[in-house]
Amino acid sequence: MEEPLVNDICSICHGSFNTPCQANCSHWFCGNCILLVWHHGSALQPCKCPLCRRQITLLVPAEASLSERHNPTVAEILGKIETYNRYFGGHTRGLIQRLQDLPFLLRRLLREMLDPQRSLPLVIKARVYIAMILSVVYIISPVDIIPEGILGIVGLLDDLVIALVCFLHVAAIYRSVLFFRHGGSS
């Protein structure tokens, strides 16, 4: 979703969304509310989602919020979100965090690639397509590191590992796009 649901409310302030942003766990919050949660805890580490308790390492403002950048209040909140993303959004904390972020990032990437109004840079699209094509070619090819014919179901492990590495690589590419779009550029 590029925007929170129409009848949805912020789970922190229980009011209508004000400068909504989506966390990497897919939950929506008012930008100011989630920043208050962060400031209430330790400002030296990312805050945890109040709903699912996952670490929030990336906040993505709603498209409507970005179009209101001329409003001083919205601009201030977006600036704080960019600061948060600069601190915590450029990298993930490990493999578990990457696996947890994978559905969020792949859903957003798929939506963005299928939406004719949005455009990813050509280099990013090329890297995504090349990674996917190479992993598909490896998976369907009869040449494997661990052959299925000899080891049976265990032989599928290398195919699964290649697919997982491909998805993690694609998600990392898209995470960097989101980071530079919503936090790395001021």
- Sequence ranges of the domains in the chain: 20-114, 122-183
* Tokens (6 digits) for 35: 């920043």
Q: Predicted confidence band at 30 (pLDDT cuts at 50, 70, 90)?
A: very high
Burial class, 17, CB count within 10 angstroms (exposed 0-12 / middle 13-18 / buried 19+): buried
What pLDDT is attached to residue 183?
A: 58
What pLDDT is attached to residue 83?
A: 85
Q: Tell me: the pLDDT tens digits for 63-115?
A: 877 778 888 999 999 989 888 887 787 665 677 777 777 777 777 777 777 76
Q: Between the ranges 36-45, 100-109, 123-132, where is the mean pLDDT highest? A: 36-45
Report d(CA 40, CA 47) in Å as an integer: 9
Q: Tell me: the pLDDT tens digits for 165-177?
A: 888 888 888 777 7
Strand arrangement of the beta sheet that strand 28-30 belongs to? 28-30, 20-23, 59-61
Is pTM beyond 0.85? Reply is: no
Mean pLDDT of 23-29: 90
